[in-house]
Amino acid sequence: MSQPIVYVISDSVGETAEFVVRAVASQFNGGRVEIRRVGYVDDQEQIKEVVQAAKETNAVVAFTLVLPEMRDYLMDYAVMNGVVAVDILGPMIDAFSKVNNQTPKNRPGLVHQLDDEYFRRVEAIEFAVKYDDGKDPRGLLRADVVLIGVSRTSKTPLSMFLAHKRFKAANVPLVPEVEPPEELFEINPRKVIGLTISPDELNLIRTERLKALGLGSQANYAQHERIKLELDYAEKIMSKIGCPVINVSNKAVEETASIIMDVIKRGGRG
């Protein structure tokens, strides 16, 4: 027994229609079906050619066309030629329109634009995790933005927030005893954002951090002298790079991230 043939017509890639066809085919004949996908259809002549081919091979036409005039033309032409055609998107678009009392955008390919955004976000999140806390300085050369600052200036949460906005963010801690990676001075300084904070606030944050770890607040990490040393060192590095500097004192991560994104859009000019 020969396999059924289904022509898939789409004004985009055609993956949605193919998925539906394969799901249906799984209910018949062991799921065997020959799918002939015709994507990016944007004129009536293409529709005619596919419908004629379907007529000659006794095939079904499944289609996902968002433009109403194209859907109507295909259905009319299929009926005229005795070809079975199935509109996969149309009924759902009409239902959404009626229930929500809204007019659809009628723009082909939007679902794949959403997919692209999703994958860019995932890629950015993976990037932020991989190049967090200066783990691999090679990532600095590929980053959209590099955050630098002393410990507890929200570098990691900011990197993750920016990643969800599809920015590839890396971050590097500045510690007086550790030389910054060479890559930090090789990249465009406009891609680098320095994060600073008031000594008093940093003292409170670090003291709370030590408590959470079950350590005493007298540790050098939270001492004012140590904090001043680190902040002075970080300021020298930021001045050497010539990057914009943001004071994160009393700022929520969302607020600081908004400032960073504005700086990025202005090409690094703070």
Known binding-site residue numbers:
149-156
| DSSP of 171-184 | EEE-BTTBPPPTHH
Q: How many CA atoms lie within 13 A of 192 on its CB side?
A: 22
Q: How many CA atoms lie within 13 A of 112 on its CB side?
A: 11
Sequence letter at residue 71: R
Picking from 45, 56, 40, 57, the residue whose alpha carbon sits closest to that of residue 4 is 57
Determine the Cα–Cα distance for residues 68 and 51; give it in Å rounded to an integer: 18
Q: Can you say which residues are annotated as belonging to the binding site for ADP?
A: 149-156
Q: What is the dihedral of CA 153, 155, 158, 162, to 10 degrees?
A: 150
List the beta strands (DSSP E) in 167-238.
169-173, 192-196
